[in-house]
Amino acid sequence: MYEDTIVAIATPIGEGGIGIVRVSGKDARAVVAKVFAQGLRHRRLSYGKIIDPRDGAVLDEVMATFMQAPRSYTREDIVEIYGHGGAVALQGVIGVLLRCGARMANPGEFTLRAFLNGRIDLAQAEAVLDVIQAKTDAGLRIAMDGLQGRLSGPLRKLRKELIELLAYLTARIDFPEDDIPPQDVLAPLRGAREEVGRLIASADTGIIFRQGVRAAIVGRPNVGKSSLLNRLLGQDRAIVTPVPGTTRDTVEEVVNIQSIPFVLVDTAGMTEASDLVEVLGVERTKRAVSRADLLLLVLDLSQPITEEDRAIMQRVEGKSVVAVGNKSDLPMRASLADLPWDPVKTSMTTGQGLEALQERMVATVLGGRAVTSDALLVSNPRHKTALEKTQEHLAAAEDSLLKGMPDDFVTIDLTSALNALGEITGETVTEELLETIFSRFCIGK
C-alpha cells in the first residue's frame, strides 16, 4: 500500500487564485511526466501545461516543482503542481494523474509516510494537525513546539535513560554469576517519575490552549444572557429584546480571550416550559450545562435573588462557575451575602466590568496556574494518557525496588513504562492507532 504513488489536492476546495495538487511516491516524477512535458528538476519551478494524453486537451496552465527523495516532506519523490484554484480545474488534473498510475491519497497519508519514513516522529506528526487547526496564537505556538520536537526531545532522552536502566537490570538477571559493577537504580527511576509528573502537570493547561473551553451562559430568562454573548463577541450575534424568553435554542460562537478559545453557548432560560418549543429549548440547555467546562451564571443585580435563581444555582452545584452580576448600572436590589460565588459586577448596557469578567474566566479555567511564553506544555489528551500510564508503571517499579523484590518485577514495569512512552513518539505504536490518528487529517496533508 505504501509503495503506491499517491495524489491529492492540498488546498481547500473552492475558488481561489492558486490550487495545489501534490503527488508522492517512487513513480511521482514519471506519472507527472506523462501529462507535463516540460521536464522537472529538483527544487526548481517549471512552467508548462497539463495535457490529457488521451486527446491532447489542455487542462490547465501551471507551475510545477520536483523534490527528490529523501529531501522532501515524505522522504519520497514529490511533485507539486500549482494551478488555478477552481474545483473543476483541480479535479481535471487529479483525474488525469489517476489515469496515469497514481491513486488517491488517504486522509493524512502524506504525513503518515513522513512518519513511517523517519522524517518525523508520531508526536511531531500529530502536531502538524494541531498547527492547521490552531485557534489562537498560543495554540499555534504550542503546536509549533510539538512540530519542532520540543516535546519529543525530552521524551527521547527519558527513554534512553530508562533503556539503560533496563539493560543493567536485565544483565543482572541473565548473568548473576558475573561481577557486574553496582549501579544506582532508585535515583534515576525516581527522577524519571518526577519528570513525567511535571509533564502531566502541564497537560490540563496545554489542552485548554489546544482545544478551548466550552462555556455555557445560563440563568433565568431576561437577565442578560444573550447580551453577555454579544458583548464578549463584540458583535450582535444573538437577538436581544425586553421580552423574556427570546432565546429558544442554544447559540454557539467562538471567542479568543487571552489566547484561550472559549466556545460560548447562549442558552434558553432554565425554567418551567409552557409549550413544546420551550420544552425543547430547556432540554438543550440542560445538555449544554452537562457538556460545559465552565458555566457563566448570569444574575440580575437590579432585582432581588429569586427562587428561580436559587434553583438554577442548585442545578449547577459542583460545576466550575463564574457568577456574572448584570445590570450593575442600576440601583442594586440583590443581596449577595449568601451567594456561593462572588459575582463579577457588570453592565451589558455600558460594558462595565467586561474586562474583569474576562480575567475571572481565564483565571478560573487555568486554576491560577501562570503560563510563560516559553513553557513546555503537553497539549494532546492522548499524550497525557500515555504519560499517566508511564508514571503508574514507574511508580510500581520504584515500589518493587524499595520492597527488595527480585529484579524481574522491576523490569516488567520498566518495560511497560517504555512501551507507554513509545506510544507518544511512535516506537511502540499499533497500526490501529495510526489509522485512528491520521484519519482526522485532511486528504491532502
Q: Over the stretch 367-412, which tens digit does the pLDDT of each residue have?
A: 877 677 778 899 999 999 999 999 999 999 999 999 999 999 999 9
Distances (CA, A) of 416 to 31, 114, 393: 45, 27, 6
The DSSP code sequence of 126-146 is HHHHHHHH--SHHHHHHHHHH
Query: What is the DSSP secondary structure assignment for residue 427, as one 8-state letter?
Result: T
Q: What is the mean pLDDT of the chain?
A: 90
Q: What is the mean pLDDT of residues 297-326?
A: 92
**What φ, ψ does residue 52 adopt, rounded to 5°?**
-75, 115
On the CB side of 137, CA atoms within 13 Å amount to 4
Q: What is the mean pLDDT of residues 271-285?
A: 62
3-state helix, strand, coil in the chain (%, to 5): 45, 15, 40
Question: Using CA atoms, how far apart are residues 330 and 327, in angstroms rounded to an integer?
Answer: 6
Provide the whole-model pTM.
0.85
Q: Which CATH architecture has domain 152-206+380-428?
A: Up-down Bundle (1.20)
On the CB side of 175, CA atoms within 13 Å amount to 8
**CA angle centred on 359, ends 339 and 367, rounded to 5°:** 75
Residue type at 268? A
pLDDT of 270 reads: 63
> Is residue 113 scored above 90 in pLDDT?
yes
pLDDT of 399 reads: 94
Residue of 414 and 251 predicted with greater confidence: 414
Q: Which CATH architecture has domain 6-105?
A: 2-Layer Sandwich (3.30)
Cα dihedral 277→280→282→284 (10° resolution):
-140
Residue 215 grid coordinates:
462555556
Question: Using CA atoms, how far apart are residues 98 and 286, in angstroms rounded to an integer?
Answer: 50
> Is residue 205 scored above 60 in pLDDT?
yes
Residue ranges per structural domain of the chain: 6-105, 152-206+380-428, 212-366
Q: Does domain 212-366 have CATH number 3.30.450.40?
A: no
> Is residue 29 scored above 70 in pLDDT?
yes
Coil vs helix vs strand at 81: strand
pLDDT of 275 reads: 54
Distances (CA, A) of 408 to 10, 160, 168, 391, 416: 51, 20, 12, 19, 13
Question: Using CA atoms, how far apart are residues 154 and 121, in angstroms rounded to an integer?
Answer: 13
Identify whether the C-beta of residue 252 lies closer than 8 Å to the C-beta of residue 264: yes
Residue 135 grid coordinates:
485557534
**CA angle centred on 213, ends 385 and 216, rounded to 5°:** 130
Please report where in the chains the cell 442545578 appears, as a residue.
315
Please report where in the chains the cell 466550575 appears, as a residue.
320
Least confident window among 117-131, 232-246, 250-264, 279-293: 232-246
Q: What is the mean pLDDT of residues 266-293?
A: 72
pLDDT of 236 reads: 67
Q: Is the dihedral of CA 161, 165, 170, 171 positive or negative?
A: positive
Q: Is the dihedral of CA 201, 204, 207, 212 positive or negative?
A: negative
Residue count of the chain: 445
pLDDT of 2 reads: 78
Question: Using CA atoms, how far apart are residues 144 and 190, in angstroms rounded to an integer?
Answer: 30
Question: Using CA atoms, how far apart are residues 122 and 111, in angstroms rounded to an integer?
Answer: 10
Question: Using CA atoms, how far apart are residues 363 and 23, in angstroms rounded to an integer?
Answer: 47
